[in-house]
Amino acid sequence: DAGVIQSPRHEVTEMGQEVTLRCKPISGHNSLFWYRQTMMRGLELLIYFNNNVPIDDSGMPEDRFSAKMPNASFSTLKIQPSEPRDSAVYFCASSYTGAFGQPQHFGDGTRLSIL
Amino acid sequence: DAKTTQPPSMDCAEGRAANLPCNHSTISGNEYVYWYRQIHSQGPQYIIHGLKNNETNEMASLIITEDRKSSTLILPHATLRDTAVYYCIVRVGERFNKFYFGSGTKLNVKP
């Protein structure tokens, strides 16, 4: 079975540009999570969706960050305008919440570098 | 969520069992214990989870103490490819399963 698919795998762009990260969750999963990982702060949860609805975006750092999930098989995380401090690895994860205790499954991440 | 405590690093000889401890003394009755690992900068990989009983799958075994205040992840025959950061997470098994990752244990498997 295909796992969580993220694109692009690497992104290098200049400060001020718009950046869009994409995620395709595992088919049948109804929850989707966006994380950011840096050396300083470790792995942080940014936002998560259940049945395509944002449930908790308290981890989104500021208004420059936005996330959408237009359907059950696709989500985007957008940064506009981007800044050098946004450089990090961004992970998407999905899980099935129809039963208690189900684990999250992660994609391979997008390594983002803002120059 | 209950807090977890893990040693920052451990060494293990290749071919030997790796036993990774995790303390979660404030765990409540409906909280699950999850283990993940992260190799280099790859996405965290799910290993195993449990509530009360010991669990085993093709990757590892999870031993949870009777009082549920601590657990041990066992890799029965560690290989060099098992070198990674291992995270122990305690989370209520509610619908949305929101995880918080700590610092984990860096396991170094040596030849």
pLDDT in tens, B42-99: 999 999 999 998 999 999 999 999 999 999 999 999 999 999 999 999 876 455 566 7
What local confidence, expressed as pLDDT, does residue B97 receive?
62
Over 90: is that where the pLDDT of B28 sits? Answer: no
C-alpha to C-alpha distance for B57 and A30, rounded to whole angstroms = 25
What span, in angstroms and rounded, lies between the C-alpha atoms of B19 and B14? 13
CB–CB of A48 and B98 under 8 A? yes
A98, pLDDT greater than 80: no
Cβ A44 vs Cβ A22: under 8 Å = no
**Residue B95: what pLDDT?**
55
Q: Give per-residue pLDDT as tens, A34-87.
A: 999 998 988 999 999 999 999 989 889 889 999 999 999 999 999 999 999 999
Amino acid B99: pLDDT: 76
CA atoms of B92 and B73, how far apart (whole Å)? 19
B21 touching A (Cβ < 8 Å): no
pLDDT level of residue B3 (50, 70, 90 thresholds)? confident
pLDDT at residue B30 in the model: 80
- Return the percentage of chain A with pLDDT > 70, whole number: 97
Instruction: State how far residue A17 is from chain B, nearest Cα, in angstroms.
Output: 25
Using the predicted structure, report yes or no on whether residue A29 has a pLDDT greater than 90.
Answer: yes
Contacts with B98 from chain A: Cβ below 8 Å: 33, 45, 48, 56
